[in-house]
Amino acid sequence: MKRRFLAAIAALVLAAPTLVYAAPDEAQKQLLQRAAEARRKLEATQAAQGAQRCKLLQEHMDLMQQMMKQMTSARPGPNATPQELRAWIDEHMKVMEQMMSQMMDGERMMMGTMGTGQPMMKGGK
């Protein structure tokens, strides 16, 4: 009985860091929410036509720029253990992968829009 109890405690102690540290930190949660918002904007852009499409694509690109600024300033906690650091990096890479995918989709859409002869952005942006 005592061995089972000690084994259960040992298992919890070993598993606790991965359970606690696998979750994204607050900044990464915000980035994930923005990425989801940007993805919805990109999907709306695909369904739109003409000026509305250009407007939505510009809004998506603006969101991506904001996210890039936030990504470059994001840092793990100062007292992060190696496991926490690894989890933070994994989450950061996941967000970066989502962003790159969206940016490539946006570029493809922009190139397609430009190929139709429609002006992509007003003001030469």
Q: What pLDDT digit, counting tens, does each position of 56-89 carry?
A: 888 988 888 998 898 888 888 888 899 999 999 9
Residue recorded with tokens 């970066």: 96
Is residue 125 a part of any domain in this protein? no
Whether this prediction's pTM lies above 0.75 is answered by no
Number of domains in the chain: 1
Task: For residue 102, give both structure tokens.
Answer: 């969206």
Residue 121 counted as domain residue: no
64 found inside a domain: yes
Distance CA 41, CA 39 (A): 5
* Domain range enclosing 19: 2-74+83-114
61/27 Cα distance (integer angstroms)? 20
21 Cβ contact list (under 8 Å, min separation 6): 81, 83, 84, 87, 88
Tell me if 101 is assigned to some domain.
yes
**43 has pLDDT over 80:** yes
> What gap in Å lies between CA 2 and CA 12, rounded to an integer?
15
pLDDT of residue 83: 93
Strand, coil or helix: what is 79?
A: coil
pLDDT bucket at 112, cuts 50 / 70 / 90: confident
State whether residue 43 is helix, strand or coil. Answer: helix
pLDDT of residue 4: 54
The answer to the question of residue 63 being in a domain is yes
Which residue do the tokens 């007292």 mark?
A: 79
Residue 120 lies in a domain: no
In a domain, 119, yes or no: no
CA 94 remoteness from chain centre: 7
